[in-house]
């Protein structure tokens, strides 16, 4: 299909064509991904080989100062008068050596690395009513990862030390002066100021983001739960058994519960995203329509739901829909019903109730976003459409909706992803209830993957399956984002917006 033929298609036809093209090109894209991964490893090993060759060449051709700095980091900088650089390199090596080979072997990096393969072998015991603590699997795993990070940082710093010596030799051979400490400090405050600013945030990301993610991934391959909880008990590696347990096809297993919760999570995310989107857009169109009075009043009333914290409003609404709550009580007094409606005790009622309440919460956000976008659509487009005889629905279909989708495409994607992990609405309204004996892991019919993960972690202390769940949640959201991102109009050229 040519670009001209594609532009002639209607909006739904374009979406269907892109979906079909995605699946048709999926094998070719998969081969391309594999090729990209292969090229990455080729570049990685090529870079490692080039660095090893440069290290050997620098040692062979360097002077005695450079060669000695291979053993004592910073020596070459000290010998050449670069005291600031030399001190930093030397201090880093000293801290590394002390941590890795400290006299108290139970707290050294070598101790944690040695225990990492087993996660501990010495159990906690009671000897003559005195608790004698053994290995702590949690600390062994945590500090083992930290030690690996520290070793990688040391190797990088050691390589930087070698490069600095090689560069210093080249500068001296060219008859130029070396940078002193004051020059380095001036550079960090001027042309290298971005490194100064990013140093602390980068360290924070590594310690508080990357490290917990790696720890969670590794926990998924252990038997860390309430029966294997340190320091009283050890846990160990179990391979892929946790994944097999959560993805099993047995009807009375965690696998069956996972499939049901995943299906409801996707259904919830779909309705929570698109109902709010289209109803919020409709409300914005109605309020902005000519002839509507008290527009600011209507907007203020809707925005009030945003101003009230969800912790307060959702808990209050949850009590309103309880069996003895305001809604059931009022309907029974009016004689409309004879017994309370099962808002939170029936799975279907609970799910529909949650979706409806979320509409009440989400419409004001979309109304505000849509209002700003609608006010920027050129009025000439609507005027031309009226002259051509288009009715209100046709103008919405051909002008308003395409414009909104083009501008808010990325927002729709992030909103869908956010609703997959929308913990507050589910937990504060229903707590995942109603529960059922057919579901494992204390899961309920309104639980999302994220709320079920919370229950596994806090209530059941089943950390191993919670870690697997976290990995699977990431996989689900990543796949959806990769597929949908390449389909939204905003990613394409602006010429596609017609």
For the stretch 237-292, pLDDT in tens is: 998 988 888 888 776 678 888 888 999 999 999 999 989 888 888 888 888 777 77
3-state secondary structure of 444: strand
If one counts every other C-beta atom within 10 angstroms of the C-beta of residue 313, the result is 18
DSSP state of 131: E
Percent of the chain with pLDDT over 70: 90
Q: 332 exposed, middle or buried (CB, 10 Å; 0-12, 13-18, 19+)?
A: middle
Helices (H), 289-325: 295-307, 310-320
Report whether pLDDT(235) > 80. yes
If one counts every other C-beta atom within 10 angstroms of the C-beta of residue 469, the result is 26
Pull the structure tokens for residue 288: 């902005």
Pull the structure tokens for residue 404: 């909104």
Average pLDDT over residues 187-194: 84
If one counts every other C-beta atom within 10 angstroms of the C-beta of residue 474, the result is 13
3-state secondary structure of 435: strand
The tens digit of pLDDT for each residue in 368-418 reads 888 888 888 887 888 888 888 888 888 888 888 878 877 887 888 888 888
Average pLDDT over residues 159-164: 91
Category of 89 on φ-ψ map: left (φ > 0), alpha (ψ -120 to 50) or beta: alpha
Contact 430, 283 (CB under 8 A): no
Average pLDDT over residues 437-456: 87
Q: How far apart are CA 267 and CA 204, in angstroms?
A: 36
Average pLDDT over residues 167-176: 87
Residue whose pair of structure tokens reads 């009715």 in the numeric block: 391
Report whether pLDDT(225) > 80. yes
Residue 391's alpha-carbon distances to 44, 288, 291, 374, in angstroms, are 60, 18, 18, 18
Specify the higher pLDDT residue, 17 or 191: 191
Which residues does 442 contact at the CB level (< 8 Å), separation at least 6?
A: 435, 455, 456, 459, 460
Which residues does 111 contact at the CB level (< 8 Å), separation at least 6?
A: 105
Write down the pLDDT at residue 104: 64
pTM greater than 0.85: no
Residue 112 phi, psi dihedral angles, 5° rounding: -70, -40
Report whether pLDDT(23) > 70. no
Average pLDDT over residues 84-98: 91
């Amino acid at each position: 299909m040519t670009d001209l033929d594609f532009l002639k298609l209607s909006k739904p036809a374009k979406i269907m064509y892109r979906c079909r093209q995605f699946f048709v090109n999926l094998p070719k894209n998969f081969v391309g991904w594999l090729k990209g991964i292969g090229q990455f490893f080729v570049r990685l090993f090529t870079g490692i080989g080039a660095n090893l060759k440069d290290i050997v060449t620098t040692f062979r051709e360097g002077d005695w100062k450079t060669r000695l700095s291979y053993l004592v980091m910073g020596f070459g900088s000290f010998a050449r008068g670069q005291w600031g650089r030399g001190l930093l390199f030397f201090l880093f090596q000293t801290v590394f050596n002390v941590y890795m080979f400290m006299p108290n072997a139970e707290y050294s990096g070598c101790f944690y690395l040695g225990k990492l393969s087993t996660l501990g072998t010495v159990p906690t015991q009671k000897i003559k009513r005195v608790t004698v603590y053994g290995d702590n699997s949690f600390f062994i795993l945590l500090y083992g990862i930290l030690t690996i990070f520290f070793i990688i940082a040391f190797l990088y710093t050691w390589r930087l030390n070698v490069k600095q010596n090689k560069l210093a030799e080249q500068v001296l051979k060219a008859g130029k002066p070396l940078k002193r400490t004051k020059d380095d400090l001036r550079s960090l405050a001027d042309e290298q100021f971005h490194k100064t600013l990013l140093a602390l945030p980068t360290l924070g990301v590594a310690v508080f983001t990357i490290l917990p993610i790696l720890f969670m991934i590794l926990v998924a391959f252990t038997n860390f739960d309430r029966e294997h909880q340190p320091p009283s008990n050890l846990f160990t590696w179990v391979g892929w058994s946790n994944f097999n347990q959560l993805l099993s096809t047995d009807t009375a297993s965690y696998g069956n519960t996972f499939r049901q919760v995943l299906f409801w999570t996707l259904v919830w995310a779909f309705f929570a995203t698109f109902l709010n989107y289209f109803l919020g857009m409709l409300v914005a169109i109605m309020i902005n329509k000519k002839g509507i009075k008290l527009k600011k009043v209507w907007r203020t009333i809707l925005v009030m739901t945003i101003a009230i914290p969800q912790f307060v409003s959702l808990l209050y609404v949850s009590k309103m829909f309880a069996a003895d709550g305001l809604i059931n009580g009022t309907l029974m007094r009016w004689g409309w019903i004879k017994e309370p409606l099962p808002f939170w005790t029936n799975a279907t009622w609970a799910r529909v109730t949650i979706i409806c309440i979320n509409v009440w919460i989400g419409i004001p956000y979309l109304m505000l976003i849509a209002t700003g976008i609608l006010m920027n659509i050129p009025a000439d487009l609507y005027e031309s459409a009226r002259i051509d005889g288009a009715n209100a629905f046709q103008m919405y279909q051909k002008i308003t909706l395409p414009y909104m989708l083009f501008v808010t495409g990325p927002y729709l994607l992030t909103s869908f992803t956010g609703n997959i992990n929308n913990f507050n609405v589910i937990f504060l309204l229903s707590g995942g209830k109603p529960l059922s004996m057919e579901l494992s892991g204390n899961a309920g019919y309104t639980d999302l993957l994220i709320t079920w993960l919370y229950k596994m972690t806090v209530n059941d202390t089943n950390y191993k399956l919670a870690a697997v769940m976290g990995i699977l949640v990431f996989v689900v959201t990543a796949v959806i984002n990769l597929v949908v991102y390449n389909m939204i109009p905003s990613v394409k050229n602006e010429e596609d917006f017609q």
